[in-house]
Amino acid sequence: MNPIAASLEGRHALVTGGARGIGAACARALLLRGATVTLAGRDGAALAQAAAQLDTLGRVETEILDVTDQASVLAGFARAARRAGRIDILVNNAGQAASAPFGKTDAALWQRMLDVNLTGTFHCTQAALPAMLEAGWGRVVNVASTAGLAGYRYVAAYVAAKHGVVGLTRALALEVAARGVTVNAVCPGYTETDMVREAIANIVAKTGRDEQQARAGLAAGNPQQRLVQPEEVANAVAWLCLPESAAMTGQAIAVAGGEVM
């Protein structure tokens, strides 16, 4: 048997925002390493479609929940654990990005960015962590952003939320460091996902640039002069989940072609 393919055999991973983009790529990477994976999110049809595309790789379950709603998270995580066993690996990937100049960032936009990106990570981690601590083994990987490590114009609320995710990662990692659980963040740069495609469309609408120019503008911040691919982020996530990565905790790893060092 390929030892890489069996490295997470017997482990149950739950991936939020698992229906598409980075979440679906993370699910695939974890399945290829032998884990059972639960795809979690709000869109049941999208989750079912993603599961159908992945189920030849291993056992895939789906769970409809809203990461911003604590009761929904607790109930959804309990159902997932009853179906597939204790959640050993949590990938907090669900997120949203919205742009506006700071002066036009209203309280509703600010709160939405915090609710989805930061509070959602808090709710999900609180739901999964007790069983990990009881078992003496667990992996929490938060998909943050280079916006959690640096500032960007016109996305103050998103930047603040993602900085919060990195801070939460570091604080919790210290709390649980001696108890067999690691907590890390992966910080992608601009990645070829629906979120970035929406950003490109927004740039086109607001600036008059064409799609190619807008895409090139986003890629220009990456020293490799390209957008990151979801699979590249997923490979970093999967590596942090391996038993061999037990010494990695409290880290915020940029997957961004050298944009942030």
**In the predicted structure, residue 1 carries a pLDDT above the cut 70:** no
How far is 50 from 54, CA to CA, in rounded Å? 6
The radius of gyration of the chain from alpha carbons, rounded to an integer in Å, stands at 18
158 an active-site residue? yes
SS3 202: helix
Contact 191, 228 (CB under 8 A): yes
The active-site residue, picked from 152, 154, 158, 190, is 158
Question: How remote is the C-alpha of 229 from its chain's centroid?
Answer: 14
Element spanning 29, H or E: helix 21-32
Categorize the per-residue pLDDT at 4 as very low, low, confident or very high, splitting at 50, 70 and 90.
low
Protein fold of 12-189+230-254: Rossmann fold (3.40.50)
Structural domain spans, the chain: 12-189+230-254, 191-227
Check the CA dihedral 80-86-91-95 and report its sign.
positive
- Residue 40: what are its φ and ψ, rounded to 5°? -120, 145
pLDDT on residue 55: 94
Chain segment 133-181, per-residue pLDDT in tens: 999 999 999 999 999 999 999 999 999 999 999 999 999 999 999 999 9
Instruction: Look over the chain and give the mean of its residue pLDDT values, rounded to a whole number.
Output: 94
Residues 6+ apart with CB under 8 A from 55: none
Q: Nearest CA to 74 among 12, 131, 146?
A: 131
Q: Which residues pair with 155 in a beta bridge?
A: 100
* Claim: this prediction has a pTM higher than 0.95: no
